Amino acid sequence: MTSKLHIFFKSFIFSAVVASTSAAIAQDAPQTNLDRVQLAAGMHRLDVQVAATPDQRQTGLMFRREMPQHEGMIFVFEQPAQQCFWMKNTLLPLSAAFVADDGTIVNIEDMAPQTLDSHCSAKPVRYVLEMNKGWFVKKGIKPGSKLQGVLFQAQK
């Protein structure tokens, strides 16, 4: 092999390794650049990140070490369906509210960190709101409670 060709291949392989390592590192880091939306649950105001694309929904709150009590993440799906969540690579204990188009909470599931247990909606929903574990109970929010915000107004 000529030295120029040898250098080219070494350079190509090095670039490929750096690119794949960078991608792996990025996948092991929390998402920080998501859009945010304000929601209300009764008198409680929430500042939530919006996971609306398949990649954003797949990563969710993985790799986060903490989350302020008034913050969370809302997963937005294209159409109502039974939604199921697990906690692979998720370090925080979370509670997930499965939410109908009009903002009504269908059911709430507590989820333990780093487990593969499936937590599903009791009926088809378009939204899932994840908060720190126990947030809904502490605030008196339960199935049948209604969330308010622009996401739910758009569905009317």
**23, β-bridge pairs:** none
Q: What is the mean pLDDT of residues 69-89?
A: 97
Distance CA 42, CA 109 (A): 19
pLDDT digits (tens, 9 = 90+) for 25-74: 446 778 878 999 999 999 999 999 999 999 999 999 999 999 999 999 99
Q: Is the pLDDT of residue 5 over 50?
A: no
Contact 85, 128 (CB under 8 A): yes
Using pLDDT thresholds of 50, 70 and 90, give the confidence band for residue 89: very high
Q: Given the structure tokens 């960078």, which residue do they identify?
A: 22
Contact 101, 154 (CB under 8 A): no
Q: What is the pLDDT of residue 110?
A: 98
Q: How many helices and strands (H and E) does the chain possess?
A: 4, 9
Q: Is the pLDDT of residue 17 over 80?
A: no
Q: Is the pLDDT of residue 12 over 70?
A: no
Mean pLDDT of the chain: 86
Give the 3-state DSSP-derived string for 63-127, with helices as H, strands as E and coil as C: CCCCCCCCEEEEEEEEEEECCEECCCCCCCCEEEEEECCCCEEEEEEEECCCCCCCEECCCCEEE
Contact 98, 128 (CB under 8 A): yes
Of the two residues 15 and 47, the one the predictor is more confident about is: 47
How do strand 94-99 and strand 125-132 relate by DSSP bridges?
antiparallel
Using pLDDT thresholds of 50, 70 and 90, give the confidence band for residue 156: low
